[in-house]
């Protein structure tokens, strides 16, 4: 054999081992909000409570947990530092803080920022490693620029005679900053909100400021500087059209703030919808927009936007919801959304046609892909939140996957399925509009922010590895909880027949397992929980990873009226339907928040022990049901807000 042939044969043998393998892993206790490509390979994932560095093979390199015991801290944004470290914004000890970790995961510095009657809402990383923090000081806009060490470089407050709030900011090529704010009427003023744009130089001096809007609510939510020195702004407007609907709003400004182009796209509904925009390699922008406009099927719209604000393509897709968009090297994009309880990921070609699409997740539980990245070998990194594996301790755990270019991972990844979304139509909903522009004259004032060294408690994250999905075998653990009877475990009783039995069971990955329960007399089936959410007695699970499920029964005694199949007893009695949307909100809040702590679980058990008699009494009287619904209304609203407060725009 010739030498080149021998070398080729050896290369073909060792190439698969040299290429990074695809993988999927899960763990932790909450989903990530930031995915950062780490210097030297791998990724850093940051959630409210954890910061993890993973290698390109998915192994944990290091981890830090925020908070210890009663010392509660959480993060809501993180970004890469120029030297390979990570900077994050956090809330701790009743104040906002910034901290920096080195590339090795050690704390470099941490600063706390305090000022009475203030709040911070926007954190914008700057190219020099510093950051702009924007918030509110009373009714005025609050701005504070920090250096790469967290020290304050300058700070100011400024405002109109209205209420001024920050929405977004972006660094400019000359070291300055452009800030988007919302200027709302003071109490008793006309019911409208306008977009307020400020251009600042590197020292914080205001170069120009503009108020832009119409006769109703107009909000700018993201801004990019374009190569000509101007700005592309996207947001929502209710000022144009006679139907009162909110529309996607797109503006192109000149370097000095003059409007060169402004238009709306009909992809909104009553109230503001979701959208996100990412810049592509050629300088254009790809926008993914929630499309729920009357007269069209609900789904997602993808728009390609040039730097001058021209929309070159607009198409609708049947995929429901939206989470993230990632421009790809071929000029297309990767898009994540929702397909019922599972994540739906589509790869679009530059033409807008669907190249491939898959769902990621397990039946009977909630899974999402909220963050997208490139893996460096033509594949992708998908990260988000999962309920499908790990048991109570890992409900709403983070999960991260490294996929092949076609979205696949491996032969044992039975949580991946082909999806059936479709391209609905090419659209042309663009309408030129004419918002008014007014120069404003807000005068900067020294704000009085104080930066001090913080002492955020960091605890080394454990375990030292994340469990892998896609192995040849997996375990199903079945637990039994009997309420209102003894020590809640059902010990010394005969509550019924279960398939499979209580305990741990091993299966080959991909095996379909039938679960069912037949309660004995005096016992009522309530629901299955844990890694599944079911109010039906039997179902079929595909074993796509280790699962822990809890069977909930209620001991009512012989001849006692049985309760509806729901754990939210009083809410179910009030609404008369265990599947009512408000009952589902309360159930999700219970699982996402209460069941993740020992105190919360104790509360749930006490509630389940003592609330059924109250629920039975409420169910008998329409007046009490109405009163209960009224009392639950603000509770449902707060729970709904908490469940959705992690959304990033």
What's the pLDDT score for residue 10? 42
User: Residue 116 is encoded by which pair of tokens?
Assistant: 């009475």
Per residue in 83-118, pLDDT (tens digit) is 999 999 999 888 899 999 999 999 999 999 999 999
CB 133, CB 122: distance < 8 Å: yes
Q: Note the pLDDT tens digit of each residue in 263-314.
A: 999 887 655 567 899 999 999 999 998 887 777 777 888 999 999 999 999 9
Neighbours of 518 (CB within 10 A): 13
Q: Say how many C-beta atoms besides its own lie within 10 A of residue 399's C-beta.
A: 33
Task: Enumerate residues 6+ apart whose C-beta is below 8 A from 424.
Answer: 296, 297, 299, 315, 316, 317, 318
Of 106, 102, 96, 179, whose CA–CA distance to 140 is shortest?
179
- Count the residues in the chain: 649
In three-state secondary structure terms, 65 is: strand
CA–CA distances in Å: residue 422 to residues 300, 315, 522: 11, 11, 50
Check: CB of residue 306 under 8 Å from CB of residue 260: no
| pLDDT at residue 247 is higher than 60 | yes
What order of strands is seen across the sheet that includes strand 32-37?
32-37, 43-47, 50-54, 60-66, 458-460
pLDDT of residue 9: 45
Q: Is it the case that residue 151 has pLDDT exceeding 90?
A: yes
Q: Tens of pLDDT along 441-455?
A: 999 999 998 999 999
603 has a pLDDT exceeding 80: no
The pLDDT value recorded for residue 283 is: 94
Question: Above 90 in pLDDT, residue 253?
Answer: yes
- The contacts of residue 616 (CB under 8 Å, 6+ apart) are 561, 563, 573
Bridge partners, residue 287, by sequence = 277, 303
**pLDDT tens for residues 41-89?**
899 999 988 999 999 999 999 999 987 766 778 898 999 999 999 999 9
- The answer to whether the beta carbons of residues 145 and 132 sit under 8 Å apart is yes
**Structure-token pair, residue 293:** 């406009």
Q: How far apart are the first and last CA of the chain?
A: 60
Mean pLDDT for the stretch of residues 457-484: 87
Task: Report which of 135, 144, 204 is spatially closest to residue 163, judged by C-alpha positions.
Answer: 135
Q: pLDDT grade, residue 19 (50/70/90)?
A: very low
* DSSP 3-state of 45: strand
What's the longest Cα–Cα distance across the chain?
A: 92
Of 150 and 76, the one with more pLDDT: 150
Query: What tokens appear for 45 in the block?
Result: 């994932």
Q: What is the mean pLDDT of the chain?
A: 85
> What's the pLDDT at 12?
39
Torsional class of 586: left (φ above 0), alpha (ψ -120 to 50), beta (otherwise): alpha
Angle formed at CA 537 by CA 533 and CA 541, multiple of 5 degrees: 60
pLDDT, mean of residues 17-34: 78
Q: Is the pTM of this model over 0.85?
A: no
Q: Is the dihedral of CA 296, 298, 299, 304 positive or negative?
A: positive
Lowest-pLDDT range of 222-231, 314-323, 474-483, 611-620:
611-620
Per-residue pLDDT band at 580 (split at 50, 70, 90):
confident
Average pLDDT over residues 25-48: 90
Q: 598 vs 106, which has greater pLDDT?
A: 106
More confident residue, 494 or 61: 61
Strand partners, 224: 232
Phi, psi of 136 (to 5 degrees): -130, 140
Going from the C-alpha of 252 to that of each of 31, 237, 255, 479, the distances in angstroms are 35, 15, 10, 58
Share of residues in the chain with pLDDT > 70 (%): 84
430: Cα separation from own chain's centroid: 29
* 116-133 average pLDDT score: 94
In 3-state terms, what secondary structure has residue 637?
Answer: helix
CA 252 to chain centre: 28
Return the bridge partners of 158, or none: 141
Name the helix (H) or strand (E) containing 232: strand 231-237
Q: How far apart are CA 79 and CA 16, in angstroms?
A: 33
Q: What is the dihedral of CA 588, 590, 593, 598, to 10 degrees?
A: -150
Continuous segment of H or E residues that includes residue 639: helix 622-644
Phi-psi map region of 242: left, alpha, beta (phi>0 left; psi -120 to 50 alpha): alpha
No. of helices (H) and no. of strands (E), the chain: 5, 46
Least confident of 13-17, 66-70, 161-165, 388-392: 13-17
Q: Which fold has domain 472-562?
A: Ubiquitin-like (UB roll) (3.10.20)
Strand partners, 180: 168, 197
Q: Looking at domain 28-159+442-462, which CATH architecture does it have?
A: 7 Propeller (2.130)
Domain limits, the chain: 28-159+442-462, 472-562, 567-649
The answer to whether 354 and 423 have CB atoms below 8 angstroms apart is yes
Any bridge partners for residue 253, and if so which? 231, 259
Task: Provide the pLDDT for residue 572.
Answer: 72
Rounded to the nearest 10°, the torsion over CA 578, 584, 589, 594 is: 20
Residue 383 pLDDT more than 60?
A: yes
Q: Rounded to an integer, what distance in angstroms lies between the CA atom of residue 216 and that of residue 218?
A: 6
Tell which wins on pLDDT, 355 or 273: 355
What pLDDT score was predicted for residue 13?
39
Strand, coil or helix: what is 273? coil
* 3-state secondary structure (DSSP) of residue 633: helix
- Lowest pLDDT segment from 126-140, 266-280, 363-377: 266-280
pLDDT at 488 over 60: no
State residue 331's pLDDT score: 92
pLDDT at 366 over 50: yes
Peptide bond into 318 cis (omega under 30): no
């Amino acid at each position: 054999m010739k030498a080149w042939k021998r070398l080729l044969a050896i290369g073909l043998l060792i190439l698969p081992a040299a290429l990074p393998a695809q993988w999927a892993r899960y763990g932790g206790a909450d989903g990530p909000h930031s995915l950062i490509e780490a210097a030297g390979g791998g990724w850093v994932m940051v959630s409210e409570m954890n910061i993890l560095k993973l290698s390109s093979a998915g192994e944990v390199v290091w981890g830090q947990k925020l908070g210890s015991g009663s010392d509660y801290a959480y993060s809501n944004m993180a970004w890469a530092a120029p030297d390979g470290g990570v900077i994050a914004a956090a809330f701790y000890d009743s104040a906002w803080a910034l901290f920096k970790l080195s590339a090795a995961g050690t704390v470099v510095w941490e600063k706390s920022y305090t000022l009475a009657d203030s709040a911070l809402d926007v954190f914008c990383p700057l190219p020099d490693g510093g950051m702009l923090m924007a918030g509110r000081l009373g009714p005025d806009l609050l701005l504070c620029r920090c250096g790469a060490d967290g020290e304050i470089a300058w700070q100011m407050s400024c405002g109109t005679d209205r209420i001024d709030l920050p929405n977004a900011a972006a660094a400019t090529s000359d070291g300055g900053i452009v800030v988007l704010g919302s200027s709302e009427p003071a109490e008793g003023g006309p019911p409208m909100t306008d977009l307020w744009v400020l251009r600042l130089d590197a020292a914080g001096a205001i170069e120009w400021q503009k108020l832009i809007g119409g006769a109703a609510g107009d909000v700018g939510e993201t801004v990019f500087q374009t190569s000509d020195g101007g700005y592309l702004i996207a947001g929502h407007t209710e000022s144009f059209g006679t139907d009162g609907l909110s529309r996607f709003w797109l503006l192109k400004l000149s370097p000095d703030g003059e409007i060169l182009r402004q238009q709306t796209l009909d992809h909104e509904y009553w109230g503001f919808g979701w959208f996100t925009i990412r810049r592509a390699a050629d300088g254009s922008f790809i926008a993914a927009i929630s499309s729920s406009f009357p007269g069209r099927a609900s789904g997602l719209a993808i728009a390609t936007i040039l730097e001058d604000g021209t929309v070159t393509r607009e198409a609708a897709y049947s995929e429901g919801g939206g989470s993230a968009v990632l421009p790809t090297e071929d000029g297309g994009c990767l898009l994540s959304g929702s397909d019922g309880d599972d994540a739906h990921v589509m790869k679009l070609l530059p033409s807008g046609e669907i190249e491939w699409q898959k769902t990621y997740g397990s039946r009977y539980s909630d899974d999402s892909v909220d963050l997208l990245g490139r893996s460096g070998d033509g594949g992708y990194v998908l990260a988000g939140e999962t309920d499908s594996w790990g048991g109570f301790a890992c409900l709403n755990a983070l999960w991260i996957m490294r996929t092949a270019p076609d979205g696949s991972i491996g032969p044992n990844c039975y949580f991946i399925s082909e999806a059936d979304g479709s391209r609905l139509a090419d659209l042309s909903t663009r309408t030129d509009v004419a918002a008014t522009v007014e120069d404003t004259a807000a005068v900067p004032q020294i704000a009085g922010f104080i930066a001090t060294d913080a002492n955020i408690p960091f605890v080394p994250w454990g375990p030292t590895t994340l469990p892998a999905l896609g192995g040849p075998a997996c375990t199903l653990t079945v637990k039994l909880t009997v309420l209102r009877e003894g020590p809640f475990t059902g010990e010394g009783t005969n509550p019924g027949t279960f398939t499979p039995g209580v305990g741990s069971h091993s299966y080959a990955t991909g095996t379909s397992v039938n679960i069912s329960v037949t309660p004995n007399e005096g016992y009522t089936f309530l629901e299955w929980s844990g890694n599944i959410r079911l109010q039906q007695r039997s179902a079929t699970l595909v074993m796509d990873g280790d699962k822990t499920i809890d069977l909930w029964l209620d001991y009512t005694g012989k001849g006692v009226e049985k309760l509806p199949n729901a754990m939210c007893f009083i809410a179910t009695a009030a609404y008369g339907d265990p599947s009512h949307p408000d009952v589902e909100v309360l159930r999700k809040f219970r699982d996402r928040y209460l069941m993740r702590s020992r105190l919360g679980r104790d509360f749930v058990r006490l509630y389940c022990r003592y609330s059924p008699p109250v629920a039975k009494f409420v169910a008998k009287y329409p007046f009490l049901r109405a009163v209960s619904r009224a009392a639950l209304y603000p509770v449902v609203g707060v729970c709904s807000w908490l469940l959705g407060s992690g959304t990033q725009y």
